[in-house]
Amino acid sequence: MLSEVLLVSAPGKVILHGEHAVVHGKVALAVALNLRTFLRLQPHSNGRVGLNLPNIGVRRAWDVASLQLLDTSFLGHGDSAALTAKHVEKLKEVAGFPKDCVDPEHLAVLAFLYLYLSICQSQRWTEENLELINKWAFQGERVIHGNPSGVDNAVSTWGGALRYQQGKISSLKRPPVLKILLINTKVPRSTKVLVANVRSRLLKFPEIVAPLLTSIDAISLECERVLGEMAAAPTPEHYLTLEELIDMNQHHLNALGVGHASLDQLCQVTTAHGLHSKLTGAGGGGCGITLLRPDVERPAVEATKRALSGCGFDCWETSVGAPGVSVHTAASLDASVQQGLDSL
């Protein structure tokens, strides 16, 4: 039983290079983002387990005794037992949700219930075991995304930077910390539809699209090589190379048909301020990243952020290569994080 407050955080992630090409067996590079999600586990004596997700407006509570009486044999046994569609349907019954619920709020609750019920029946789970954390996080991803690659949970667990190809994930050694802007165009898109469209374009124009995917793979590999060199001694030339790779990849992604007018606008704004950007993830809107070289002066960064905000985009200044899942003491938290947790 938890006897004191436990504070844990994990980083978000972005794809540096390899979007869509990774679906076709090419290399993708994913990096942990120094924008973190914090979890506070706090013991209570009221016999209830509560869930509060303020960012998406979810607040739920269950009687622990009632949950303990549930027949959880449908979850299977062992560490992160494989999740199936039947598991998800059963969890909907437990939560009292309709069978057709697919909105993020309902799915977040189902992911919590699955992890809570499964982990509570496991006798070997420990917070120190990163492999178990990664496996459980993957199952939570499956509740929400159905058939995830495993990249998101792996990056958030181990942090740093990862190489992903055909289901094999490996860590990049000592990746440099790169400062970036993360920009959300706030244009919704369907990853499933965009992936299908790229596959359709590949079938229609194989001699055009296949070389594009091969070139994106080469960009990922060159970026991996440059990041390896930068771990020892970063130079201005390294950053110029990273900017060239960003520009080439963005043009390739547009050629694949996953660009969007909002992303074009994002790139035009940052180009006007001497910076280089590309989409990250599925494209079709969504988010982009902008590399901030060490020599970019503060007024230029602030002017770029104002211009992006003026376009209606959300913009965060952050860095990549962040630590993975971490345990904190209350005293170690930034004041803004502590204030946010105290307001829950």
Q: Give domain limits for the chain.
A: 6-174+327-343, 178-320
Burial class (CB in 10 A: 0-12, 13-18, 19+), 8: middle
Tens of pLDDT, residues 225-269:
999 999 888 999 999 999 999 999 999 999 999 999 999 999 999
Higher pLDDT among residues 287 and 102, named by residue: 287
d(CA 332, CA 344): 19
d(CA 296, CA 291): 10
pTM listed for this prediction:
0.73
Most confident of the ranges 81-85, 308-312, 325-329: 308-312
d(CA 336, CA 344): 13
For the cut 80, the answer to whether the pLDDT of residue 333 exceeds it is: no
What mean pLDDT is predicted for residues 86-96? 84
* Confidence at residue 217, expressed as pLDDT on a 0 to 100 scale: 97
Query: What is the phi/psi pair of residue 326, to 5°?
Result: -140, 150
Q: Encoding tokens for residue 313?
A: 């985009």
Contact at 8 Å (CB) between 15 and 29? yes
Tens of pLDDT, residues 21-42:
998 999 999 999 999 999 888 8
Higher pLDDT among residues 255 and 139, named by residue: 255
Confidence of residue 69 (pLDDT cuts 50, 70, 90): low
Confidence of residue 3 (pLDDT cuts 50, 70, 90): low
CATH node for 6-174+327-343: 3.30.230.10
d(CA 114, CA 128): 21
**Which residue in 8, 16, 22, 9 sits closest to 321, CA to CA?**
16
In the predicted model, what is the mean pLDDT of the chain? 88
Cα 33 to Cα 36, 134, 185, 224, 335: the distances in Å are: 7, 17, 18, 17, 20
* Confidence at residue 124, expressed as pLDDT on a 0 to 100 scale: 40
Is residue 152 among the annotated active site residues? yes
Higher pLDDT among residues 302 and 71, named by residue: 302
**SS3 of residue 234 by DSSP:** coil
From the candidates 79, 100, 103, 152, which is the catalytic residue? 152
Which residues are CB-neighbours of 210 under 8 A, at least 6 positions away?
Answer: 202
**Which residue in 1, 3, 4 sits closest to 328, CA to CA?**
4
* Confidence at residue 146, expressed as pLDDT on a 0 to 100 scale: 74
Higher pLDDT among residues 12 and 116, named by residue: 12
**Which residue in 246, 172, 192 sits closest to 216, CA to CA?**
246
Dihedral over alpha carbons 319, 325, 328, 333 (to 10 degrees): 20
Q: Which residues of 55-71 are buried (b: 16+ CB within 10 A; e: fewer)?
A: eeeeeeebeeeebeeee
Higher pLDDT among residues 82 and 313, named by residue: 313
Q: Name the class of domain 178-320.
A: alpha beta
**SS3 of residue 264 by DSSP:** helix
Query: What is the phi/psi pair of residue 179, to 5°?
Result: -85, 135
